[in-house]
Amino acid sequence: MPLDIDTEIEFNIEDLQYDIEQSRATDRWNDAPDNVKDIFHELEWNIIEGEFHETTDFINPLLESGVSARTLISGPMSTGIAEVGRRFKMDEYFLPEVMMSAKCMQAALVIIKPLIIAEKAESVGTCVIGTIQGDLHDIGKNIVSMMLEAAGFDVVDLGVSTPPETFIEAIREHKPQIVGFSALLTTTMNMQWETLKLITAEGLRDDVKVMVGGAPISQVWADKIGADAYCADALIAVDKAKACVGDFKDLVGGAPELRDNLLAMESE
Nearest approach, Cβ of residue 260 and ligand B12 (Å): 24
Nearer to ligand B12, 18 or 261 (CB): 18
Nearest approach, Cβ of residue 37 and ligand B12 (Å): 22
To the nearest 5 percent, what fractions of the chain are helix, strand and coil? 60, 10, 30
Stretch (H or E) spanning 141 = helix 139-150
Nearest approach, Cβ of residue 90 and ligand B12 (Å): 8
**DSSP-derived secondary structure for 198-229:** HHHHTT-GGG-EEEEESTT--HHHHHHHT-SE
Determine, following the binding rule CB under 6 A, whether residue 215 of this chain makes contact with ligand B12: yes
In the shown chain, the binding pattern of residues 93 to 132 toward ligand B12, with x for contact by CB under 6 A and - for none, equals --x--xx--x--------------------------x---
Q: How far apart are CA 175 and CA 39, in angstroms?
A: 43
> Is residue 115 within 8 Å of 67, Cβ to Cβ?
no
Nearer to ligand B12, 162 or 182 (CB): 182
Interface pick for ligand B12 out of 41, 141, 205, 209 (rule CB under 6 A): 141
Burial class of residue 155 (count of CB atoms within 10 Å of its CB; 0-12, 13-18, 19+): buried
Interface pick for ligand B12 out of 48, 62, 208, 234 (rule CB under 6 A): 234
Determine, following the binding rule CB under 6 A, whether residue 44 of this chain makes contact with ligand B12: no
Interface pick for ligand B12 out of 75, 125, 180, 226 (rule CB under 6 A): 180
Residues 19-39 as b/e (b if ≥16 CB within 10 A, e otherwise) read ebeeeeeeebbeebeeebbeb
Size, binding site for ligand B12 by CB under 6 A: 37
Determine, following the binding rule CB under 6 A, whether residue 211 of this chain makes contact with ligand B12: yes
Nearest approach, Cβ of residue 35 and ligand B12 (Å): 26
Determine, following the binding rule CB under 6 A, whether residue 43 of this chain makes contact with ligand B12: no
Determine, following the binding rule CB under 6 A, whether residue 51 of this chain makes contact with ligand B12: no
Determine, following the binding rule CB under 6 A, whether residue 176 of this chain makes contact with ligand B12: no
Nearest approach, Cβ of residue 104 and ligand B12 (Å): 10
Give strand pairing partners of 130: 181
Pairing of strands 229-230, 153-157: unpaired
Instruction: Give the angle subtended at the CA of 255 by the CAs of 253 and 259, to the nearest 5°.
Output: 105
Considering only 25-33, 49-57, 137-145, 191-199, which stretch makes contact with ligand B12 by CB under 6 A? 137-145
Q: How far apart are CA 144 and CA 137, in angstroms?
A: 13
Residues 116-131 as b/e (b if ≥16 CB within 10 A, e otherwise) read beeeeeeebbbbbbbb
- Interface residues with ligand B12 (CB under 6 A)? 81, 84-85, 88-89, 95, 98-99, 102, 129, 134-141, 143-144, 180-182, 184-187, 211-216, 231, 233-234, 237
